[in-house]
Amino acid sequence: MTKLRSILKFFTAVEQSEGVGARVRRTIGTFQQRNFSPFLMLDHFTVGAPAGFPDHPHHGQETITYVLSGMIAHEDFTGSSGVLRPGDLQFMTAGKGIVHSEIPVEMENGEPSVGLQLWVDLPAHLKNCEPRYRDLRAAETPVAHPHPGLEVRVISGKSYGVSSASELAYTPVNMYHFKLSKKDVDFDQPFAQNFNTFMYILKGSVKIAGKVYEPYSAIFFNPDGDAIAGQSASDDTEFVLVGGEILNQPVVQMGPFVETSRERIAAVYNNYQHGVNGFERAPGWTSSISNGITENEVKSHENDQKH
C-alpha cells in the first residue's frame, strides 16, 4: 500500500536581485532552506537584456537549467556554446572546473527570459570529473496525459508509465512539470525512499492534505513515504516536482564552488586563482556573449551553420 510523504516545511519565495540585473525567486539556498541534499540552490529567474549571468566559474556540482519563456545563450571556456529555447533544458556537470556565461537573448518583442535553475551536489568521488553538457530539447521530453485536465512533462524519471531520456546527470534526479487545467484535478507521483523531494508552484494553487499552497510556494517533503499526491486548487495550475538521491556527505560551499571540506574548497579556490587543475583555460578567457546577444544574431548564426 502506498504511503504518502508528509510535509517537512514550506515558504513563499521572495523576488531578489542576482547576477547582473537579474531578478530571482530563490528557495533552496536561502536561510529558510540552506541545503536539501542533493540540492544546493533553486532559482526561478526573470532576466532580460542587458542583464544576465556573465563569465563565472563552477566546481563540484551540476546545474539544471529549464527555460520557460524567452531564450538563454550559453558559452564556456571549452568552446561549447548554444541557445536554449522555451521548453529546452541543459544539464551541466561542472566537475573539476568550468567557466561559462549564461546570457538572455535580447528578444525582438522585448520580453525577458524566464526559467528555473537548479544546483545539484556531486558525489564526493565525482567532484573532479571532466565537465560535460547534455542539452535536452523540448521535443525530447515525453509528456503523459493520464486523465482529463492533467499533463505531466517527464523531464527526468518516470511518471504515469512514461519514461524520460536517461544519463542526464551523474547525481540521480527526477524532475516533472505538472500542468493542471482546471480545479480539483488529482495527481500523484512515486519517489524512491532514498530521494529527497520538493515542489515549487509556478502558477495557480495546489491542495495537499487539505491545505492550499499559493504561487511561488516551495514545499519540502519528509522521506517518510513512497509518493506525493494532491489536487489543483485553482484553474490553470503549474508546478515542478523534483526528487534527488540523498548524498550522505558534508557540503562546504564557497559561491559556485562545492566541496566536502574546508581544505578542499581552499584548494579549488587556489586552482581557479592560478589557472591549474581544471582551470587552465580560465586566465584571460572572455565569452563572446558577455556583452549580450540579440535574437537576430542567433538566427543569423543558425542560418550560417545550415549553409
Q: Is 56 annotated for ligand binding? A: yes
Question: What is the C-alpha end-to-end distance of the chain, expressed in Å?
Answer: 58
List, in sequence order, every residue forming a beta bridge with 162; answer none if it has no partner.
159
Q: Is 102 annotated for ligand binding? A: yes
In whole angstroms, give the CA distance from residue 257 to residue 251. Answer: 10
CB-CB neighbours of 264 under 10 Å? 19
Residues 6 or more apart whose Cβ sits within 8 Å of residue 188 = 2, 227, 228, 229, 230
Q: Is 100 annotated for ligand binding? A: yes
Peptide bond before residue 142 is cis, with ω within 30 degrees of 0: no
Q: Are 251 and 36 in contact, with CB atoms under 8 Å apart? A: no
Q: Is 125 annotated for ligand binding? A: no
List Cα–Cα distances, 145 to 91, 151, 159, 210, in angstroms. Answer: 25, 5, 10, 25
In whole angstroms, give the CA distance from residue 43 to residue 40. Answer: 10
The sign of the torsion formed by the CA atoms of 139, 228, 170, 121 equals positive
C-alpha cell at 48: 532580460
Binding-site residues for Fe cation, please?
56, 58, 100, 102
Binding-site residues, please?
56, 58, 100, 102
